[in-house]
Copies of this chain bind each other. A is one copy, B any other.
Amino acid sequence: MIVDQKINEFLMDLSSSSPAPGGGAASALVASIAASLTAMVANLTIGKKKYLAVEPEMKKIVAEATSLRDFLTQLMDRDVEEFNMIMAAYKLPKETAEEKELRDKKIEEASIRASNVPLETARACIKIMDLALKVIKSGNVNAVSDGICSFQFANSAMKGALANVKINLNNISNPEILQQFNTEIDNMEKESINIYEKNKELLEKVK
């Protein structure tokens, strides 16, 4: 698994002229960093007298955030695998009309499957943004900057993941499937803007 790599090795792979791992896997990693930071703030809140009232909530947040973190690290590998499937489809023969048709079909199928990976990353990011806001609001005040980092990273990972969904949609012609994807993308973009605007002051001021 990619998470068994050293950080530096991953960064070298990412920088190289090999297109995978790319933005999709990187979005999942940034999201998992965000989830880790929310877990940290909740962990720094648990066991402190001052925060006894929110301890049950914080324990739940640790469980949810670490589970999202682990799910996201798996998505890193899935992203690379699905990308390679698209590349394999592109390499199919395209001499005859029949071959061309089959190749187009395979590219479209692989692109639909591949689009689902960053879409799952984006969905996880919305959840992390929500958890991050909770730790910013009621978690250990000394770690509020870590909560803000978590929110910002999750927000950018969502945007990055959705850019990866959108680029894959170029290979999809099925109008119903395209509409499904586009509707969910629109909804998530609107939701994330709403969450940001509603909590702007909380996110931009560090007390």
A residues whose Cβ falls under 8 Å from a Cβ of B? 1-8, 10-11, 14-17, 19, 22-23, 26-27, 29-30, 32-33, 35-37, 39-40, 43-44, 46-47, 65-66, 69, 73, 142-146, 148-150, 152-153, 155-157, 159-160, 163-164, 166-167, 170, 206-207
21 pairs, A vs B, C-beta closer than 8 Å? A2-B7, A6-B6, A11-B69, A14-B40, A15-B37, A15-B40, A16-B40, A16-B43, A17-B43, A22-B146, A23-B145, A23-B146, A26-B37, A26-B149, A30-B153, A142-B167, A144-B163, A145-B164, A149-B160, A153-B156, A155-B156
Residues of B within 8 A of A17 (CB): 40, 43-44, 46-47
List the B residue with the shortest CB-CB distance to A152: B156
Q: Which of B2, B4, B148 contacts A23 (CB 8 A)?
A: B148
A39 to chain B, nearest CB (A): 4
Decide if the interface of chain A is mainly helix, strand, loop or mixed: helix
Residues of B within 8 A of A47 (CB): 17
Cα A157 to Cα B145 with chains together (Å)? 12
Q: Is the CB of B160 within 8 A of A144?
A: no
Cα A153 to Cα B27 with chains together (Å)? 8
A145-B163, A149-B160 known; A15 and B36 CB under 8 Å? yes
What 3 pairs between A and B have smallest CB-CB spacing? A156-B156, A23-B149, A149-B160
In the complex, the count of this chain's copies comes to 2
Which of A23, A29, A39 gathers most chain B CB within 10 Å?
A: A23
List the B residue with the shortest CB-CB distance to A76: B7
Cα A160 to Cα B153 with chains together (Å)? 8
Q: Which of B3, B66, B149 contacts A15 (CB 8 A)?
A: B66
Q: Is the CB of B36 within 8 A of A11?
A: yes
Q: Which of B5, B27, B40 contacts A6 (CB 8 A)?
A: B5
Q: Is the CB of A143 within 8 A of B26?
A: no
Q: Which of B15, B29, B153 contacts A69 (CB 8 A)?
A: B15
